[in-house]
Structure 1
């Protein structure tokens, strides 16, 4: 289910935040990207209802990119993140997780068309429902759900890829008893690797929406981030190295990029496959 907890402590959105850059078209969606575009390991991060311009979400993307992944954070809210001026039910009518999952499949295909050999996906809150829908097919290699909402036991039963589920002991959206049900359903499918973790003291939204001055809250978010990273490193595996294609040609030719934020293409760092994407200023 979705509840008021999904809307508490909204982030201050910033389209320029992060160490990466924004591209206009990856699988038909605008997206924040981080990491080397030459990497053959890709990760899709799916936002909560507040969308892809949330600073903490982009920090997670930058962190994952630092492990050698090309990370994509698509705008699955289609330029219309939840703003608090309407009911969540009304917003969800325009933003079906099932529709977003279909669009996520297109993003995966775009990544594979440019040479990604392994793709993982992780989703927060509303994004967890998107990811679990995608994980019902083998289009991705691994899935991570972080304080998910709208996810049911029946959803979990349909998952066919390795999945990690991380929640909090104080989560009132997907509470511990429901996480235990997820764990039980997954244990009945030993052929699918799975891991369910309940982090003590963590409320709903704890990964992205927390007080940066609260040491305990920061620690809980970092713990979840570490667990997610381990899962992705384990299942989004190393494949054959790809020939290097300069960033400008790669993004425009493969992703249909129409515009990159001012200054990116003039930076010589972008022409090196060893470097992640610098912040545009």
Structure 2
């Protein structure tokens, strides 16, 4: 099970944080939304890790993408039941209740809601648990591009089925998806020239570094921001 490291360094949750707003129903889900809606504007779906949509660093990233011209939605795929940061002993039971396959079904409804609003260019990024949801979306033409960040549950077979431009950002210190697995992803993608790809392993960082970094640690912030920049560049290139 891909849980050996996925919930290290749990964050402090803050449901009031961010420049955006939480709506009760977007595609059937409570959703943090950042950016002013315009049907001609590209949209990005962010699929959170097991700690859900109230993670300040995740909302900061959503706000950053919104400031760069995207309409950003961060759906609550856990229906108000993220992993409690103060009790990680519940993780095995929580995983049984919250399978990524259900998140994928919910994500399709969010994508549908965006398209019904007139949005034609949609990208998606997933963190840890959320990366499995996003790689499932990447197996169809419903979205334009994806980014997987320190993924969990993603398999070699998943990567073989990807149809849209994909970036995989992995951690050097990661028992969940170790560098040798990330390199397998890269090898598979190299045999698919019709699918643009970018794979990068970040030195000296641990699983979860992009949204669970300590904001007072300058080095950690720099590594996270490097990944955020790679993510933004990918979407600027392929989600139009």
- 1-structure distance, mates of 2:170, 2:94: 24
- Partner of 1:228, secondary structure, is helix
Structure 1 residue aligned with 2:150, among 147, 151, 157?
A: 147
Paired residue for 1:253? none
Paired residue for 2:216? 213
- Partner of 2:205, secondary structure, is coil
> Are 1:29 and 2:32 matched, yes or no?
no
Q: TM-score, normalised by structure 1?
A: 0.82
- 2-structure distance, mates of 1:122, 1:106: 16
Alignment of 1:169-188 (within 5 A): 169-188=172-191
Paired residue for 1:255? none
Structure 1 residue ranges (4+ consecutive) displaced by more than 2 angstroms after TM superposition: 84-89
> Are 1:131 and 2:134 matched, yes or no?
yes
Paired residue for 1:43? 44
Structure 2 residue aligned with 1:110, among 106, 110, 113?
A: 113
- 2-structure distance, mates of 1:25, 1:171: 35
Paired residue for 1:62? 63
Residues 77-126 of structure 1 deviation map (CA, whole Å, 9 limit, x = unaligned): 11000113544221111111011011101101100111111000000011
Question: Which fold has the larger relative contact order, with Cα–Cα distance below 8 Å and residues 6 or more apart in sequence?
Answer: 1
- 1-structure distance, mates of 2:202, 2:162: 23
- Alignment: residue pair count: 237
- Structure whose alpha-carbon radius of gyration is higher: 1
Q: TM-score, normalised by structure 2?
A: 0.96
Structure 2: 5+ residue stretches without partners: none
> Which has the larger share of strand?
2
- Partner of 1:93, secondary structure, is helix
Paired residue for 1:156? 159
- Partner of 1:52, secondary structure, is helix
Structure 1: 5+ residue stretches without partners: 238-281
Paired residue for 2:194? 191
Q: How far 1:9 moved relative to its partner?
A: 1.7
